[in-house]
Each structure stands twice: as structure tokens, then as C-alpha cells.
């Protein structure tokens, strides 16, 4: 019923509009202007609503386009920022590597008595983090058991197992290691053994020192060369403490290692040394006795 009522109203308005237009056309210009004014008044709200709706649609389209453009720009800037960040990381890593390799090259030039093979640290033994490392060079590159391993800072350890393309290196921090050592200070020259300390893994000790041995804080300790594995003169570390052993006549010195083992990335393996091996002086036999050569009378 409501539908037919609305239809009738619209039809009536249309008829009246046509009638007024016809009357205005028959009676002159003034009547036509009146009819035109009436139509304008009637249709103006419709035109206003239509124009506003079109404006809103256009504005919405413009805003949507701007949002899309802003999103794309934001994504592009984010990707560029990530790329710049990665480039910064790569550049920093390259600079750090160059600094390490430059130091190693300088050390290599300063030690012409050694033939080196350069290797990278590729793994650490998870069970003995401070005892064993794995390097990416092996028997194919001339690496063999007992060869010393060093950096420009000092002694790292020695090869304990060599495979085709890798090798295991026992660090001087390992309690099982034993390195002949010498206090570098000219007034001292005390010789002893440096071994790893299981209780303090990063603090090896110079052990079996007599109570009156001339060893003090600040002394630099180097390899003595005794034993034939390690050449003489490789830096071991600095004495940071001297401790008297309880109930005995001995003491030990705690060392700060010369090598930063937490930042160990590249190393040198000494595959050949032209350094002469020091000879341990033989004990002078007591007066009135004769030293028997080994093998004689046996």
C-alpha cells in the first residue's frame, strides 16, 4: 500500500511540473521563470546530495591512493634500511678481519725462522670449550701431530690429532698440557712448566717454582724451547699473581694468557722451525765418579 502511495505522489508531482511548464510557455517569459525556479527548488536537494556523494567518493579514492603510496614508500624505506644495516655489519666484519689478518701478516714477516700454514678456527669441543679447538687445515696441507699453533699474540697450543682437511689443537689452557717456560726478565730467567688450571680455565699456572725463585707480578713468560715441541721465545703470558703452596717449599705463578682465547678466529701452524733447539745442560757427576755412557754395561 505504501509503495502505491509513494508512486502516486511522484506521479502527481510530475504532472504538476509538466502543467506548470506548459502554462509558463503559453503565458510568457515571466511564467517560465517562475516554473524554472520551482523546478530548481524541488531538484536542488537531489543535486546537492548527488554532488556531495560524488565528492566523498572522489576524496575516498584519493585517500586510498595516498595510503597505498605511503605503504609502498614505507616498505621501500624499510627494505633500504635493512640493506644499509646489513651493509654496515658486513663492512664492520671486513674491517675487523682485515685488522686481524694485517696483524698476522706483520707477525709472519717478523718471524722468518718459521714456515706457517694459516688456518681458521671452525669449531670448539663442546665438552672441553677451553681445551680443544678444530681448525680447517690438515695433513693435506702438511699439518702433523705436535706442531705448535700460534697467533701474533703468542702461543695457542699444539696439534694433537690431524686428519685430511682438519685438525684438533690442544690449548695451553688444557690441564693436560705442559709447556716449558722461561721468565723473560734478564735478572730472573727462571725456568719452569706452564700448565692449564682446571679450577680457573683462563688462568694457566707456572708451577714447581722454588719459594725463593725470582718471579714477580708483571713478569713476561715465554716458551723455553726445552722438549723440542715449542720453539723458544713464543709469548705465553704475564704473571698476575704469585702463590705459596701450603706446607711445602714451592710456589706457583698465575698467568694472564697473551692470547685472547675467547676471540680466537685465525691461527698459524708452525710446520717448520729453523730455531735451534736449546739443550738442557747435563748434570755434572760427583767428584770421584765416572759417568757411564748409556748402553754400556747393560
What average pLDDT does the segment 250-273 reach?
94
Q: What's the chain's average pLDDT?
A: 79
Contact 222, 234 (CB under 8 A): yes
Q: Which three cell numbers stand for residue 154?
A: 703468542
Q: Is the pLDDT of residue 193 over 90?
A: yes
Contact 125, 132 (CB under 8 A): yes
What predicted TM-score, i.e. pTM, was given to this entire model?
0.64
pLDDT per position as a tens digit, 4-56: 544 555 556 565 666 555 555 555 544 445 555 555 555 556 555 556 656 66
Report the pLDDT value the prediction gives residue 55, as an integer from 0 to 100. Answer: 62
Q: Which three cell numbers stand for residue 69?
A: 603510496
pLDDT per position as a tens digit, 196-207: 998 898 999 999
Confidence of residue 104 (pLDDT cuts 50, 70, 90): confident
Tell me the C-alpha distance between 234 and 199, whole Å: 25
DSSP secondary structure letters along 136-190: S--GGGT--TT-EEE-SSSEEEEEEEE-SS-EEEEETTSTT--EEEEE-STTT--
Amino acid at each position: 500500500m505504501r509503495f502505491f502511495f509513494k508512486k502516486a505522489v511522484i506521479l502527481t508531482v510530475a504532472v504538476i511540473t509538466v502543467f506548470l511548464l506548459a502554462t509558463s510557455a503559453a503565458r510568457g517569459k515571466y511564467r517560465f521563470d517562475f516554473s524554472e525556479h520551482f523546478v530548481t527548488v524541488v531538484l536542488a536537494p537531489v543535486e546537492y546530495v548527488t554532488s556531495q556523494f560524488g565528492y566523498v567518493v572522489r576524496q575516498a579514492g584519493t585517500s586510498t591512493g595516498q595510503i597505498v603510496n605511503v605503504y609502498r614508500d614505507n616498505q621501500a624505506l624499510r627494505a633500504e634500511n635493512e640493506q644499509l644495516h646489513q651493509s654496515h655489519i658486513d663492512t664492520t666484519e671486513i674491517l675487523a678481519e682485515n685488522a686481524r689478518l694485517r696483524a698476522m701478516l706483520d707477525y709472519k714477516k717478523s718471524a722468518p725462522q718459521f714456515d706457517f700454514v694459516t688456518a681458521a678456527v671452525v669449531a670448539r669441543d663442546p665438552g672441553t670449550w677451553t681445551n680443544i679447538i678444530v681448525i680447517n687445515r690438515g695433513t693435506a696441507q702438511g699439518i702433523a701431530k705436535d706442531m705448535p699453533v700460534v697467533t701474533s699474540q703468542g702461543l695457542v697450543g699444539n696439534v694433537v690429532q690431524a686428519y685430511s682437511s682438519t685438525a684438533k689443537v690442544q690449548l695451553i689452557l688444557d690441564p693436560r698440557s705442559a709447556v716449558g717456560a722461561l721468565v723473560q726478565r734478564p735478572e730472573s730467567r727462571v725456568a719452569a712448566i706452564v700448565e692449564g688450571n682446571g679450577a680457573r680455565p683462563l688462568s694457566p699456572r707456572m708451577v714447581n717454582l722454588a719459594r725463593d725463585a725470582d718471579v714477580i707480578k708483571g713478569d713476561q713468560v715465554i716458551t723455553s724451547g726445552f722438549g723440542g715441541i715449542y720453539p723458544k721465545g713464543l709469548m705465553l703470558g704475564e704473571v698476575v699473581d704469585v702463590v705459596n703452596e701450603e706446607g711445602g717449599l714451592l710456589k706457583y705463578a698465575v698467568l694472564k694468557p697473551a692470547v685472547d682465547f675467547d676471540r680466537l678466529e685465525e691461527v698459524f701452524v708452525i710446520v717448520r722451525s729453523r730455531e735451534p733447539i736449546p739443550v738442557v745442560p747435563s748434570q755434572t757427576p760427583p767428584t770421584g765418579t765416572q759417568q757411564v755412557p748409556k748402553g754400556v754395561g747393560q
